[in-house]
Structure 1
Amino acid sequence: MPALSFEPMTPTSFLERSATVFAHRPAVVDGDLLLTYAELWERVQSLAGGLAAAGVRPGDRVAVLAANGHLPLEAVFGIPAAGAVMVPMNIRLSSGELAYILDHAEVSLLLHDDEHAPLARAASAASGARPRTVPSREYEALIAGSPPLLVRVEDELSPLSINYTSGTTGRPKGVVYHHRGAYLQALAMAMHTGLNASSGYLWTLPMFHCHGWCFPWAVTLAGARHVCLRKVESASAWRLIGEHRVTHLCGAPTVLTSLLAHPDAPAEALEPRLLACVGGAPPSPALLGRALRAGVEVIHLYGLTETYGPAVICQPQPEWGGLGAEDLAALTARQGVANVIAQRVRVVDEDGADVPADATTIGEIAVRGNDVMLGYHRDPEATAKAAPDGWFRTGDLAVMHADGYLRLVDRAKDVIISGGENIASVEVENALMSHPAVREAAVVARSDAYWGEVPVAYVSLADGAGAAEDELIEHVRARLAHFKAPKAVFFCELPKTSTGKVQKAVLRERAAR
């Protein structure tokens, strides 16, 4: 193909452009550190040069272990600028789990912040690869003493990064992203969320999780401000939202729940308005209703590590604007339709055929397109199993509505089979969270000698609220078939992953005990 009409896509090009177009506009706010787009681009190129001087060659793997801040944000551009492949690492994993990733990805160098220095050293020591660890002090020296470097991408389908799944059902799998997919997914996120040069994006979502749903690149292409938040604390979040005129944030429903429960949460719409992009689990209509009353706009997203984050969006329709809060919340709680760069999302039966769009027939979600991974690193069998006919099976169960919007019913592994009847845990959770005293709820299966399995609920109450076990059980029975109501309710703080997802595996273990 002639060079005149083709240039390989890579998300690093977004920063190269913004360094010119938005040179003197604020790019990064990280505590006392303020960087313009020109300064960010200069640091990124120097980081690439420093990596090369440290022995990193094109195709080598460089890992990053750090909380949200300028280091992982610079690395997401600087590592590919050196021609290397980035391996983001979850800061909540143990040293043994991280050592497995270092070995499986064949990492040669590990960048980390000072906070996680002991964990980085322990992981490196426990691995067979024993990559060199580079703490923040050496990282800054690497940038300060290196000439700029930019290795141009020749193949847009070459690996950009390896993102590891949570590994809840065994060893984590390495999901390989390519440059083209990340480039297009960033464009999709910017378009769907309305990012522009006046926007401020608060980093409530971990940057290591699916590359922050590709928002490091999306925010940058728009010339917006990255406002870094190392740890999600509601008071700090609301302070930064006010100080830096934040317009966008992302996270699991639990993140939005904790923000809205805080005393600093607004009672009416902020100026500028705040858009919360929610994914990772279906937000309950009750949570969406609370957000609407607080003047916080919510976009519901759905995706996986294997799809660069959000592959599906609950696309708002103009006609929804005239609906009441309850009807609007019910529509917004659906997962929606494929984003603009993906092929249509499907719900298929066991034979791979589309189920009827009757909002009742349950099937598995299947996706394909530019925002689907290249495959699993060093695991062709798992790759083939996940996409038996060229469509990636997500493992999530859903129904398709007549308007083409899908609604998640449950994870296949979270469906409770009681006396031969299927119970969707999400449905029971939504019923529980419609009670005014309930802040969060998670429902899992517990073994039962007669029924096989029965649902049990774990509930956290809103501050100052009270509710009894039998009260909540009756609340569910008034809304659902009686067999779907939990047989027991336990009051506690729900265990969560680093991205705010409820750890149902932990709750299943508790229920078994």
Structure 2
Amino acid sequence: MGRTTETARQPALWGGAAEPECLLTGLARTVAERPDELALVDEDTRLTYAELWAWVAELATTLTRHGIEPGSRVAVTGGRGARTVAALLATIAVGATYVPLDASYPANRLTFMLRDSGASLLLHDGPRPAIADEVESLAVEDPSGAGAGDFRPVSCEPDLPVYVIYTSGSTGTPKGVTIQHSCLDNMATWQRADSVRPDLRTAQFAPLNFDVCFQEVLGTLCGGGTLVIVPEILRRDPFSFLTWLAENRIERLFLPYVALHMLAVAASAQDGDLGLSLLEVNTAGEQLLCTPPIQALFKVLPQARLGNHYGQSESAMVSSYVLPADPADWPLLPPIGRPLPGCELLVHPADPEDPTTGELLVAGAPVSLGYLGRPELNAERFVTVGRTPQGHTKAFRTGDLVRVEDDVVYFLSRLDHDVKIRGIRVNLLEIEACLLRQPGVATAVCVALEPVPGSRQLRAAVTLHPDVTDPGDLRAALTELLPEASVPASVSVLPGLPRTPSGKIDRDSVAESLTTQGDR
């Protein structure tokens, strides 16, 4: 492993002692206490906890019969639905490692992930996929109704891997991250204690191969709530999604910032009562900006709270911040808050004269087992540190620049979102925040391009609210707010911004588009 400097110890924030419960223990307890309560809903299925547990037991027995045991890896591919959730739970219940494969990905990428993960079995929902030629494969069968019998899941060892998810790599090759029980058990235990109620009716919105999905699924089912799976077609249609949320009486929602903002824009176009039952909305994955549409949405939902969650694929859930009850008191850029129990946050200062600002390092319960089969990358990102105040000696380098103020952590930027323009350091997120303050602007992104070697320039793109046709001179507006070096050379108005599968703005695609198209 690599080594950081001793200054990484200051300041150190501690979330307090944690006593995480094994998520399988929590799920089994919920089944025993609420067997007839509704656990899982999709477009075709409604399952009580007893029915879901019986299905998990059947699938777990099938996995064991095919040689799956603790330490095995099981790949799962399929659509958004009850079968995929049952396959996830059965895999974890036998102590195997779940490897989700998004069926929408290119075949060569899926093949790489299947081979790289070392999965010995592929479970699939629907027709047998082409990648099934790589390993033994099984279709996820519907429940027989036979019941769970005396099925007992494995005991949760803290270092027993739960899942491997693949993130994009800077080299173009995906890298697998292994998350163990200590991470997820800590998250699920915290969520039950922190939520408005542990048994909230929760929408399952995230792609099944993203870390927030496990928070939705495991946090909800361990707390006795009902998990309602969002149909895929609605995930990119905020107007229809808004209607669906009301019709399904959703109480808790996890959304990336962009999806939350677009949902708020859709709500602002509606007349009358929205009919929403929301009590808790949590956002994660990118910097939350409290835009006017988001503030307006929560103003008409006084019973709902907004939480800003922070974490990475490599360290699961790390910190949280609940915004004040009155949206009028919200800052544009809220903090990422304080660490969860069992989590210690360290700052590695870029400037020794300012120990409160620097790269954020994570130690304690949230730190994963690291990248699968990538020892050099593990040495670079999972580093040894001098013994921390809580006795930790290993930490994960997040690559995020933060500031600590009054024991609260503020996200400043990705270290790779700071760029130099004519020798002056500028922050892309600051420029985007200024654009979002302009009337009529719905979404904004700023990228650094280098059309001619040695001639780097900033260019921005925005989308507009549906009723806006002319946003005015946005570049001129920025000159009143930003230093000259931070003002983009152009601001283009686009009909939409490309998104990644997780719902974030695809900056690489935007950069490519702005390189090839003319300015507006």
Contact in 2 for aligned 1:26/1:36 (Cα 8 Å):
yes
Identify the match of residue 466 of structure 2 among 463, 471, 477: 463
Identify the match of residue 407 of structure 2 among 404, 408, 428: 404
Inter-partner Cα distance in structure 1 for 2:24 and 2:78: 20
Counterpart in the other structure of 1:216: 217
Inter-partner Cα distance in structure 1 for 2:147 and 2:32: 24
Q: Within the alignment, does 1:283 sit opposite 2:278 as a pair?
A: no
Identify the match of residue 109 of structure 2 among 97, 103, 128: 97
SS at match of 1:280: coil
Contact in 2 for aligned 1:268/1:293 (Cα 8 Å):
no
**Larger fraction in helix:** 1
Contact in 1 for aligned 2:98/2:162 (Cα 8 Å):
yes
Counterpart in the other structure of 2:348: 348
Counterpart in the other structure of 2:94: 82
Identify the match of residue 376 of structure 2 among 359, 376, 381: 381
How many Å apart are 1:8 and its aligned residue? 9.8
The runs of 5 or more residues in structure 2 that have no matched partner are 1-18, 385-393
How many Å apart are 1:19 and its aligned residue? 0.7
Inter-partner Cα distance in structure 2 for 1:202 and 1:145: 27
Are residues 369 and 467 of structure 1, via their aligned partners in 2, closer, same or farther at CA, if it must alter by over 3 Å? farther
Counterpart in the other structure of 2:263: 259
Q: Percent identity?
A: 25
SS at match of 1:208: coil
Contact in 2 for aligned 1:288/1:298 (Cα 8 Å):
no
Inter-partner Cα distance in structure 2 for 1:62 and 1:80: 10
How many Å apart are 1:66 and its aligned residue? 2.8
Identify the match of residue 486 of structure 1 among 485, 488, 495: 488
Of 19-28 and 92-101, the range deviating more from structure 2:
92-101
Counterpart in the other structure of 2:67: 55
Contact in 1 for aligned 2:76/2:87 (Cα 8 Å):
yes
Q: How does 1:152-231 map to 2 (within 5 A)?
A: 152-153=154-155, 155-197=157-199, 199-210=200-211, 212-231=213-232
Identify the match of residue 321 of structure 2 among 304, 314, 326: 314
SS at match of 1:299: strand
Contact in 2 for aligned 1:49/1:147 (Cα 8 Å):
no
Identify the match of residue 366 of structure 1 among 361, 367, 374: 361
Inter-partner Cα distance in structure 2 for 1:104 and 1:25: 40
Paired residues in the alignment total: 481
1:415 alignment partner AA:
D
SS at match of 1:464: coil
Inter-partner Cα distance in structure 1 for 2:156 and 2:398: 31
How many Å apart are 1:441 and its aligned residue? 0.7
Are residues 148 and 63 of structure 1, via their aligned partners in 2, closer, same or farther at CA, if it must alter by over 3 Å? farther
Contact in 2 for aligned 1:60/1:84 (Cα 8 Å):
yes
Of 405-414 and 449-458, the range deviating more from structure 2:
449-458
SS at match of 2:120: strand
How many Å apart are 1:239 and its aligned residue? 3.3
How many Å apart are 1:144 and its aligned residue? 7.1
Counterpart in the other structure of 1:31: 43
How many Å apart are 1:438 and its aligned residue? 0.9
Counterpart in the other structure of 1:427: 430
Higher RCO structure (Cα 8 Å, ≥6 apart): 2
Contact in 2 for aligned 1:441/1:459 (Cα 8 Å):
yes
Inter-partner Cα distance in structure 2 for 1:461 and 1:416: 26
How many Å apart are 1:488 and its aligned residue? 1.0
Of 257-266 and 24-33, the range deviating more from structure 2:
257-266
SS at match of 2:488: coil
Inter-partner Cα distance in structure 2 for 1:324 and 1:82: 45
1:81 alignment partner AA:
A
Q: What do you get for the CA RMSD once the two structures are aligned?
A: 2.8
How many Å apart are 1:152 and its aligned residue? 1.9
Q: How does 1:470-509 map to 2 (within 5 A)?
A: 471-492=473-494, 493-509=496-512
Are residues 485 and 289 of structure 1, via their aligned partners in 2, closer, same or farther at CA, if it must alter by over 3 Å? farther
Are residues 9 and 191 of structure 1, via their aligned partners in 2, closer, same or farther at CA, if it must alter by over 3 Å? closer
SS at match of 1:262: helix
Inter-partner Cα distance in structure 2 for 1:491 and 1:311: 36
Inter-partner Cα distance in structure 2 for 1:145 and 1:106: 32
The runs of 5 or more residues in structure 1 that have no matched partner are 1-6
Contact in 2 for aligned 1:265/1:294 (Cα 8 Å):
no
How many Å apart are 1:187 and its aligned residue? 1.5
Are residues 82 and 8 of structure 1, via their aligned partners in 2, closer, same or farther at CA, if it must alter by over 3 Å? farther
How many Å apart are 1:175 and its aligned residue? 1.0
Are residues 449 and 154 of structure 1, via their aligned partners in 2, closer, same or farther at CA, if it must alter by over 3 Å? closer
Inter-partner Cα distance in structure 1 for 2:245 and 2:156: 40
Are residues 266 and 87 of structure 1, via their aligned partners in 2, closer, same or farther at CA, if it must alter by over 3 Å? farther
Counterpart in the other structure of 1:3: none
Contact in 2 for aligned 1:301/1:312 (Cα 8 Å):
yes
TM-score (norm 1): 0.86
TM-score (norm 2): 0.85
Counterpart in the other structure of 2:6: none
Contact in 1 for aligned 2:348/2:355 (Cα 8 Å):
no
2:130 alignment partner AA:
A
The Cα offsets for residues 331-385 of structure 1, whole Å up to 9 and x where unpaired, read as: 6x22222123312x2332259x79433xxx4x21211111110121112221121
